[in-house]
Structure 1
Amino acid sequence: MRRPVNVKRTLFITHRWAGILLCLFMALWFVSGVVMMYVGYPKLSMAERLRVLPALDPTSCCLPVGSVIGALPAGDSPRTVRLTSIGGLPHYVVGLSKNRELAIDGRSGTPVAAVDAKFALKSAAAFASPAEARYRDLVDEDAWTHSKALDGHRPLHRVDIDDEARTLLYVSGRTGEVVRRASATERQWGWIGAWLHWLYPFRGGAVDRWWTEIIIYTSLAGALLGVTGLVSGILRWRRRPYPHGSRSPYRDWLMRWHHWLGLAFGLLLLTWIVSGLLSVNPWQVFDSGAPRPQLAKLVLVTDGQHDETRRALHCFNAAGLQVRELEWRPMGGETFVLARDGAGRGRLQGASADCAPFEAHELDALRAAGESMLPDARVSGARLQSAYDWYYYDRATHSMTGHVGRPLPVLVLEFDDPAASWLYLDPKTGALVQRLDDHLRVKRWLFALLHSWDWKPLLDRRPLWDALLILGSVGGLLVSLSGAVLGWRRLRRQ
């Protein structure tokens, strides 16, 4: 006759062995999380890039923007076009399908076919001045370039800068642009920060293809550890003290502290583990199936009669804007030129209209453009948002989403489609800066709020946010370390 399963004992044994396997691993997660509060994964923001670029000279720059069409590969059409400086010289950078980019010399119209070490050093010089730039090597991917956003730029040239920050620059092997900047501080702290927290030891090697699955199942195991520990702790706590005078059954001081710490921080630890799991969108639980917004196609004048480029530069310079970069943007069936200066300030100009730069699009025109992005749905609500809220907010530059611009004000359009889509449109550029649907709004609560505590009252009251997150992390660290020591004792006895 089979003996009945002892549920309590099974629970305790499961927690014990899960802890032996995972406690040290969990401790590293808490330490790395605190590091990431202050030192993020290396990136290059638009502000950093624009700040070092030279101003575009309207008297010597450039071929008309329409001429870039003839330099594109057969069958390709431009999705985005920027005029910027690479290696101190004007270049058009054309965005193509499948995350590809092509750089075209702004003076000769010749596509950049290959980026060698000499080209990479010349491009990095703008970011190095007055320090010296030294070429290191060519890599496809390393510890600081795992981002998918860089896939269209690989391989990457690495250039060391002899500045105070001991900067390491990454130069695109496709366009020659500097695409990432990593200081010595970011690299040194990054090993015990983002590199550990995101399990990047499993990226770029033989198990790279299973990186997402490793995160999912490690997190599930951590959640099992948290649930069994929390339930076990509650079951073993008594309202009336045990004979030895404590409400915890354990006489050993370390066991007793592990019990009390687990009761105090167990629920918080469990929410952090589960929300971390949700960050990778396991099994596509946050995919609503809603249609993607249909962005307008870019149309450029190619008759060779209109020099939109020089005309736009003259117009913006006459308006007092020292242009570092031009970008051609479609909206509402028209094409506009967006100019940015070294401080990131922008002005707009109709591509073929009179010379009259302006600050922002009319809201009616912007709304009409937004409505066309979801043609099968109707707008059920519209508002001009001038302050951050639960779903639209800014973060520090070094944080995970800090490099994503969140301008204000924004025009918010709410649609009546099954997924209840919201589109956020920037009047100053005409760009779609954020899209939310019912699934992504849930993710905002279950991931961003529970994992990073992106709660606006806390974000606005630092260092209260810092103190609470550090307190929770220290609690989690003590639970994990005490569990690791107890597990080591158990293994030695075995």
Structure 2
Amino acid sequence: MLNGLKRYLYLSHRWLGIVLCLFMAMWFVSGVVMMYVGYPKLTPQEKLSALPGLAAERCRVSLAQALAAGGQVKSPDSIRLTSVAGAPRYVFIYGKTPIAVDAETGNRIDQVTPAQALASADSFLATADGYYLDRIDEDAWTHSKALDEHRPLHRVQMADEQATLLYISNTTGEVVRDANRHERTWNWLGAWIHWLYPFRGGALDRYAADIVIYTALAGSVLSLLGLIVGILRWRFQGLYKHGTKTPYREAWMRWHHLLGLGFGVIAFTWILSGLFSMNPWKIFDSTAAKPKLQAYMGGDISPQYFPLSVAEALARFQNTGFQPREIEWRVLNGQGYYIAFDSQGHSRIQTAQTDSRVFETFDWSALQTAAERLMAPNKIARQSVLNEYDFYYYSRATHTMTGHIDKRLPILRLEFADADSTWLHLDPYTGNFSKLDAGRRVSRWLFAFLHSWDWLHLLNNRPVWDVLLIVFSTGGLLISASGIVIGWRRAKRKLAIHY
């Protein structure tokens, strides 16, 4: 019976390998590319640096007028003032739906024309001319769900040195993605194949997530079976008749066995953690009710909290030497604030009262009061101010998956005694918060740590991180390549016998 079980193990590993080794090899190669070139995206810093300074004299439409022009009865979840084609524009977010209103004329933007899209692109990248390509729902560089509310997207090709491709929202007219030639070229070997994006946008689009999940699951099983088979076939005591501890005399089989023993654990954890990145079957989802933003703010974002007009607020920011490129409306503890961002991503806060003042950060006590209201009736079990990064709050390079998220310091961490052991991270520069419950902390171990090795001691000591990941990726690639050769030979023999 034991011999029969071993045989099934060997056969399962063999035939899974024939099917999956090409995928495995592709993942190891593309993973190395992603270490240095990420999937195209427009980071907040890139966007802010391309926008002109907001001109107070051009902001002629009040918040109340703009909301009325937007045509929605309920209050928006967020309000932002930005620039499109050099002109100020309100952007209201209702759930996931953006609505844009011209801050100069009060006209709602219902649809963006090709001419308007081209004007937006030319203003965004003013150092180069552009020409309009087309309007598309989705292409190789716009698979991100974050772009769904902006579809269809206008594409404008810029004639700059990097041959940048700009994507313009059909809803707001903003540039929402840029993809230069360097990113596009390397991504054919990087994120585009690593995330199996060839299955997106076509007949298999609805099954794309399941294809990734079940391919990664099969790859995890393959790697685990390989480890078990490798250990079973290794002669821990004594030698085989031909004088080695591996039973294989043929070179490819012998190297596959040795490489599997040397790098198999790494290969298994990488494929398994890739599976966890998809949050398969919602295993990391919280069962708690989603926090209500209104509870945190202490009121809706409505004109009553903003007696100081945006034009006056802009002028007062500028009088302090701060030049806003974008402004956000914020309500915290029932009081209105303007949050302004300059071209470098620096921020300032201004109270929205007639006797306004400009300052840099909210008080910790104000943030804590808002957080307690958000999490009521749950109580704070522990609180701390982080002045340096730790395992659960840290920054990554901008090209990585989460690198565009600004992780400033210091921040306030509040740990609550609720059923999900929720942590809140509160940013004093903007009043924003992020939620990290027990499931997400487990996901951080099982995906981010095991998959990206984003351990601070390694990230802060590059190129040690680079060397380790490249060596281990090479080991995984060699396991896969030797498996491809072995599988191809066996498949040819089987086909020859069959025919």
TM class by smaller structure: over 0.9
Corresponding residue for residue 361 of structure 2: 360
User: 1:376 offset after TM fit, Å?
Assistant: 2.4
2:127 counterpart SS class: coil
Corresponding residue for residue 251 of structure 1: 249
User: 1:4 offset after TM fit, Å?
Assistant: 8.5
Corresponding residue for residue 488 of structure 2: 488
Taking the aligned partners of 1:54 and 1:29, their CA distance within structure 2 comes to: 41
Task: List alignment gaps of at least 5 residues for structure 2.
Answer: 495-499
User: 1:5 offset after TM fit, Å?
Assistant: 7.0
Amino acid aligned to 1:421: T
Corresponding residue for residue 219 of structure 2: 222
Q: How does 1:393-432 map to 2 (within 5 A)?
A: 393-432=394-433
User: 1:294 offset after TM fit, Å?
Assistant: 2.1
- Give per-residue Cα distances to partners, 1:142-174, cap 9 Å, x unaligned: 111111111110000000111111100000011
Q: TM-score, normalised by structure 2?
A: 0.96
Corresponding residue for residue 449 of structure 1: 449
Amino acid aligned to 1:146: H
1:300 to 299, 302, 314: 302
Mark the CA change 1:361 to 1:74 in structure 2 (over 3 Å): closer, same or farther.
Answer: closer
User: 1:302 offset after TM fit, Å?
Assistant: 6.1
Taking the aligned partners of 2:163 and 2:195, their CA distance within structure 1 comes to: 24
Q: How does 1:7-406 map to 2 (within 5 A)?
A: 7-97=5-95, 99-238=96-235, 239-295=237-293, 296=297, 297-301=299-303, 306=307, 308-406=309-407
1:384 counterpart SS class: strand
Amino acid aligned to 2:279: N
Q: Contact 1:62–1:90 at 8 Å: present in 2 too?
A: no
Amino acid aligned to 2:116: F
Q: Contact 2:50–2:125 at 8 Å: present in 1 too?
A: no
Aligned residues: 489
Taking the aligned partners of 1:489 and 1:29, their CA distance within structure 2 comes to: 22
User: 1:74 offset after TM fit, Å?
Assistant: 4.1
User: 1:61 offset after TM fit, Å?
Assistant: 2.3
- Give per-residue Cα distances to partners, 1:174-216, cap 9 Å, x unaligned: 1100000111111111111001100101111111111111111
2:108 counterpart SS class: coil
- Give per-residue Cα distances to partners, 1:437-487, cap 9 Å, x unaligned: 111111111111001001110010011001000011000000000000001
1:131 counterpart SS class: coil
Mark the CA change 1:288 to 1:79 in structure 2 (over 3 Å): closer, same or farther.
Answer: closer
Taking the aligned partners of 1:356 and 1:436, their CA distance within structure 2 comes to: 33
User: 1:381 offset after TM fit, Å?
Assistant: 1.4
Q: How large is the RMSD of aligned CA atoms in angstroms?
A: 1.5
Amino acid aligned to 2:303: V
Taking the aligned partners of 1:237 and 1:451, their CA distance within structure 2 comes to: 28
Taking the aligned partners of 2:57 and 2:492, their CA distance within structure 1 comes to: 78
Taking the aligned partners of 1:128 and 1:341, their CA distance within structure 2 comes to: 17
Taking the aligned partners of 2:487 and 2:122, their CA distance within structure 1 comes to: 53
User: 1:300 offset after TM fit, Å?
Assistant: 2.4
User: 1:378 offset after TM fit, Å?
Assistant: 0.9
Amino acid aligned to 2:198: P
Q: Contact 2:331–2:337 at 8 Å: present in 1 too?
A: yes
User: 1:335 offset after TM fit, Å?
Assistant: 1.3
User: 1:77 offset after TM fit, Å?
Assistant: 2.5
User: 1:306 offset after TM fit, Å?
Assistant: 4.4
- Give per-residue Cα distances to partners, 1:219-277, cap 9 Å, x unaligned: 11111211111111111111312111111111111110111000001111111111100
- Give per-residue Cα distances to partners, 1:13-64, cap 9 Å, x unaligned: 1111111111111100100000000000001011111111111122332322
2:330 counterpart SS class: strand
Q: Contact 1:412–1:424 at 8 Å: present in 2 too?
A: yes
Which range moved further: 127-136 or 393-402? 127-136
Q: Contact 1:32–1:194 at 8 Å: present in 2 too?
A: yes
Q: Contact 2:155–2:165 at 8 Å: present in 1 too?
A: yes
Which range moved further: 50-59 or 23-32? 50-59
Amino acid aligned to 2:133: R
- Give per-residue Cα distances to partners, 1:62-113, cap 9 Å, x unaligned: 322222121122434221111111011111111112x111110101111011
Which range moved further: 484-493 or 66-75? 66-75
2:285 counterpart SS class: coil
Q: TM-score, normalised by structure 1?
A: 0.97
- Give per-residue Cα distances to partners, 1:399-443, cap 9 Å, x unaligned: 0111111111111111110111000011111111x2111111111
Mark the CA change 1:74 to 1:398 in structure 2 (over 3 Å): closer, same or farther.
Answer: closer
User: 1:340 offset after TM fit, Å?
Assistant: 1.1
Task: List alignment gaps of at least 5 residues for structure 1.
Answer: none
Taking the aligned partners of 1:331 and 1:307, their CA distance within structure 2 comes to: 16
Q: Contact 2:301–2:329 at 8 Å: present in 1 too?
A: no
1:423 counterpart SS class: strand
2:132 counterpart SS class: strand
1:114 counterpart SS class: coil
1:179 counterpart SS class: strand
Q: Contact 2:85–2:124 at 8 Å: present in 1 too?
A: no
Taking the aligned partners of 2:373 and 2:304, their CA distance within structure 1 comes to: 26
User: 1:301 offset after TM fit, Å?
Assistant: 2.0
- Give per-residue Cα distances to partners, 1:262-316, cap 9 Å, x unaligned: 000111111111110000111111113123222134332269x945111101110
Amino acid aligned to 1:451: H
Taking the aligned partners of 2:470 and 2:403, their CA distance within structure 1 comes to: 20
Taking the aligned partners of 1:324 and 1:379, their CA distance within structure 2 comes to: 37
Amino acid aligned to 1:309: V
Q: Contact 2:307–2:354 at 8 Å: present in 1 too?
A: no
Corresponding residue for residue 497 of structure 2: none
- Give per-residue Cα distances to partners, 1:111-131, cap 9 Å, x unaligned: 011101100011011222221
